[in-house]
Amino acid sequence: MADTRVQLEVEDWVRQHWMLQEFGREFHPESVKLSSGGVFAFDAVSGDRTIIATISTGGAKTASGKRAVGKVLKTRSDMFFLLLAQSARKLVVLTEADMYDFCQDEKKRGRVPASIEFVLAAIPDALANRLKRARERASEEVSPRS
């Protein structure tokens, strides 16, 4: 639960501060109609709807150093919904450098649609440290005890 709370704080900070500074406009979470007829709640939508984004605070590796398959699949799922949305720019905003590198590599290998952009948002050290501690606690909760 603490992990989720910190993740939401990071997403809020990215949306309210980093994206405002980076793109010069305000963003809000918003449900957007999809070309398939449904709707999807995106993490950040510009007021003029020219930019739609998802925000990911997850890394590409688990605490034990293995690929974080669940987080990678979540990012791929987010890309699918971005493809179904009408917008001039479709962004996946990442806060972890290893996930950014992984996604960029996937794009270079032709495994990501050309219309999807990846951007790396630098978050303040204090917030990054809180996120790291929350992840460590969550990892301890699911790790088998000896």
Are the C-beta atoms of residues 121 and 95 closer than 8 Å to each other? yes
Reported as a single tens digit per residue, the pLDDT across 50-70 is 999 999 998 887 666 777 788
Q: Nearest Cα to 45, choosing from 24, 58, 30?
A: 30
CATH class for the region spanning 2-139: alpha beta
Domain definitions of the chain by residue range: 2-139
Reported as a single tens digit per residue, the pLDDT across 58-107 is 888 766 677 778 888 999 999 999 999 999 999 999 999 999 999 999 99
Q: What is the pTM of this model?
A: 0.88
Take residue 96 and report the two structure tokens written for it: 């972890």
Instruction: Give the number of other CB atoms < 10 A from CB of residue 127.
Output: 16
* Alpha carbon 145 to chain centroid, angstroms: 31
